[in-house]
Amino acid sequence: MPNFQTHTLKPLTYPCAYGDTYFECEAISAKNNKLVVASTKGERYLLRVSHKEGNRLLVKGDKVTRPSQVSILQKVLMDFRDVSEAIEICSNIEPKRALHVTRSPYLKTIDFFASSFEVTREIWVEVGFGSGRHLLHQAKKHPHIQFIGIEIHKPSIEQVLKQCELQNIENILVLDYDARLFMEFLPSNCVGKIFVHFPVPWDKKPHRRVMSQSFIDEAMRVLNQSGQLELRTDSPRYFEFSFGEMMKLSKVNVHVKKNEALEITSKYEDRWLRMEKDIYDVTLINETLSPLIPRVETLQFSKEIDFPKFCSLFREETVRGDGFFVHFEELYLIDISNGLIRISFGANERNEKCYLWVKEGHVSYFPNTVLATQSNIQADKLIKEWIDGLCN
């Protein structure tokens, strides 16, 4: 991720603007780490300034505000470097070619799927599309279908968005998000196909696999009657595991094939074919109509907190629930009534990081609203109990 190192940063008077970036405020922790809240092109970023050996300051984007395009964060860091009159010791923020920071209309955030996405036609989903060969091929072949491609690897996302633009493909929405949690955001019975092609096998850490009982349950809910969940893998263990999980359903229609050729092969598949590996397909066909579910809502804080008291009692701590934890990591002060608390929460297989932003006693999640998924509801409860325990 983009970052730079320097020995000095000129203090800024907030708020201020420089280049395309608006710098809102900064917050400082007891460890003397600094956060700078910045925004540009409708996106908000947190920059972290931390101390390194040799009197160096490392400036980088905080992971909680992952940019939709790395080039946007590069530009924010360049503006911060220039407004702070920093002299770089080392850096990877100056791009080789001119910065192209336009945002693709086809790149969507999870908030879009939580609040604005409307189903107007049949949906097909591809999980972990990688180079995008299969996704692009299917989208061109089926222009009447709305495709949703989910991927966490930014270069793959940018490559597919570029291809959509070059080839005028308008029926793909791309989402940078963990596919294991995505299905919760789709209405029931609206998906015709879900492709999971050559997922990371995670043979030593099977709990990290995309395919799991909860993923299969949610897939069955969103699939329409006769909709299909298609796994294609070169890993015999992944194949057996997934087949086993599908067989746990009380009633199933599963088809298995070995070494079936598809119209299009991905880069991974080409590699396995050269190595003469076997390829397994497992297709689960949904036959039932699922009940409709309400849209996922957002989690809010209703109670105000006594921030000065909270600050005097704050300590780094991990609180555990049933198979679950919340880690209160670091408190950053903006001033006596305002500050940010860095937290991470989740179960073993997936952790979320975010901040609690306290403004004059009122608490909210930052950078985004936290969506009321099943796991987040548990975390939210623990967070509120911990804050109540500290303040009362």
Which residues would be at the binding site for ligand SAM (CB under 6 A)?
A: 127-131, 150-153, 156, 178-180, 197-200, 210, 266-269
Output 61 or 128, the one with its CB closest to ligand SAM. Answer: 128
Q: What angle do CA 353, 358, 362 make, to 5 degrees?
A: 120
Minimum distance, C-beta of residue 13 to ligand SAM, in the bound complex (Å): 42
Q: Provide, rounded to whole angstroms, the least separation between the CB of residue 98 and ligand SAM.
A: 28
Q: Looking at beta carbons only, is 273 or 391 nearer to ligand SAM?
A: 273
Measured from the CB atom, the residue of 79 and 218 that comes closer to ligand SAM is 218
Question: Contacts by 274-278 with C-beta closer than 8 Å and gap 24+?
Answer: 277/234, 278/234, 278/236
- Torsion angle of C-alpha atoms 379, 381, 383, 387, degrees rounded to 10: 180
Which of 153, 309 has the CB closer to ligand SAM?
Answer: 153
Q: CA–CA separation, 351 vs 327, rounded Å?
A: 10
182 versus 328: smaller Cβ distance to ligand SAM = 182
d(CA 260, CA 282): 11
Q: Between 5 and 131, name the residue whose CB sits nearer to ligand SAM.
A: 131
Residue pair 224/146 in contact (Cβ under 8 Å)? The answer is: no
Among 29, 44, 15, 38, CA closest to 367 = 44
Shortest Å distance, C-beta 225 to ligand SAM: 26
Contact 254, 284 (CB under 8 A): yes
CB of 179 to ligand SAM, least distance (A): 3
Q: Which is nearer to ligand SAM, 160 or 326 (CB)?
A: 160
Closest distance of CB 176 from ligand SAM, Å: 9
Q: How far is the CB of 314 from ligand SAM (least distance, A)?
A: 33
Q: Which helix (H) or strand (E) holds 227?
A: strand 223-233
d(CA 3, CA 50): 11
Nearest approach in angstroms of CB 128 to ligand SAM is 2
Specify the residue, 51 or 140, whose C-beta has the smaller distance to ligand SAM.
140
Please name the residue that has the structure tokens 């070494």: 259
Q: Please, which residues bridge with residue 48 across strands?
A: 35, 60
With DSSP H G I counted as helix, E B as strand and the rest as coil, what are the percentages for the chain, rounded to 5? 30, 35, 35
Spatial CA neighbour of 338 closest among 305, 370, 300, 292: 305
Q: Least CB distance from residue 61 to ligand SAM, whole Å?
A: 20
